[in-house]
Amino acid sequence: MTRTDGRACQENRAAEDGEGPRHEKRKADADGNKDEDVYTKKKSIDWFSVLEDMGQGAYGQVKLAQYQTPRTEKVVLKYVTKNRILVDTWIRDRRLGTIPLEIHVLNYLRAYPHKNIVNMLDFFEDEVNYYIEMTPHGLPGMDLFDYIELRADMSETEFRSIFYQVACAVGHLHSVGVVHRDIKDENIILDGYGNIKLIDFGSAAYVKNGPFTVFVGTIDYAAPEVLSGKSYLGKEQDVWAAGILLYTIIYKENPFYDVNEIMNNELRLPSVVSEASADLIRRMLNREIDQRPTIEQVLDDPWFKNIDLSASIGQDLHTLRASAAENQPKALSVPASRRGTRGARSRMHSALHAGPGSPRGAQFPMDLPTSLTKLLPDQS
């Protein structure tokens, strides 16, 4: 099916029903299997067997899990450690109680599902953690950070399709009053068939609560107006971050190395894959906020004219991983200092969330302008 403009993104909205009340009760089967007794109680982590660790974030861990017998569904569980949740990221809801903003936003989005946005099935809690239960994507999926590193010969057709789906997801969020505020390659999961999902809503917020005075997210993707220490609007930050992402997908490196470059350096493209893609990057990375396009304008860009999302793109992830393993040690096509590393970026993200004196003890990997420190979260 050929897509001709940004409005076609609406065709991607998933017909997901978002079932899964907070505290499910399951009836026993006819054979009275005693294993089902676990499901007669309030939902807890005891309902699941953890299959593998999938990642570590600023607030907790992500694991692939499976319901215990007789249920067999596999789910992704994000552990959100309560004592790491910032004071200003709790929200009080008449129906749900006082919960983290991340869960509130994901629960809100269940009424507005989209094919390219992670689907929260349910959430529950114990004394230590909140648990966000989500539908897996790919099994195994791969985040875009690793895919960029391993996929040596990505075509323009492929990276245009990937980025268009990201833009569709962001456009959908903006249309329902949500900003993500941490768009980056590590927060995009591919399934091996070219389909993506935007994940990790730990920095998300409602547009109506802006402008924002606390910086969240990852510095590599932060817009100049944010780094200048001013209050900022979320939509413009999302567009800037998406522009950084597009550059990174195409050129396998970050356009700016440090805060000073983000604030002052001229944008340089290593090469021009196509005039249309280069023009879109320049527009999205415009330091003048009023000249930066909205996400709707991005989706209507000529580069996406007649884009065909039904075309088979992407590579089998098992094959990609196996090929990478055979060719190790692998020489990267760009210096690590320009591409960045997952560890460094994670520490940067954690530091900005944590602020001085955090129990996580994260350190800033680059010098920050004095003006930015007033936007860091207050842990007092």
Which residues are known to be catalytic?
182
Nearest in space to 65 (alpha carbons), one of 153, 2, 124, 144? 124
Residue linked to tokens 């114990």:
126
Query: What string of DSSP letters covers 346-375?
Result: HHHHHHHHH-TT-TT----SS---HHHHTT
Residue 234 near residue 205, CB atoms below 8 Å: yes
Query: What string of DSSP letters covers 233-281?
Result: -HHHHHHHHHHHHHHHHHHSS-S-SSHHHHHHPPP--S--S-HHHHHHH
Q: What type of residue sits at position 48?
A: F
Residue 135 near residue 118, CB atoms below 8 Å: yes
Residue linked to tokens 């520490």:
347
3-class state of residue 144 by DSSP: helix
How many angstroms separate the first and last alpha carbons of the chain? 53
Residues forming beta bridges with residue 133, ordered by sequence position: 77, 122
Q: Kindly report the number of other CB atoms within 10 A of residue 285's CB atom.
A: 21
Question: Residue 155 has which token pair?
Answer: 């075509």
Burial group, residue 310, by CB count within 10 angstroms (0-12, 13-18, 19+): exposed
Give the H/E segment covering residue 158. Answer: helix 156-175
- Gap between the Cα atoms of 21 and 33, Å rounded: 23
Burial group, residue 67, by CB count within 10 angstroms (0-12, 13-18, 19+): middle
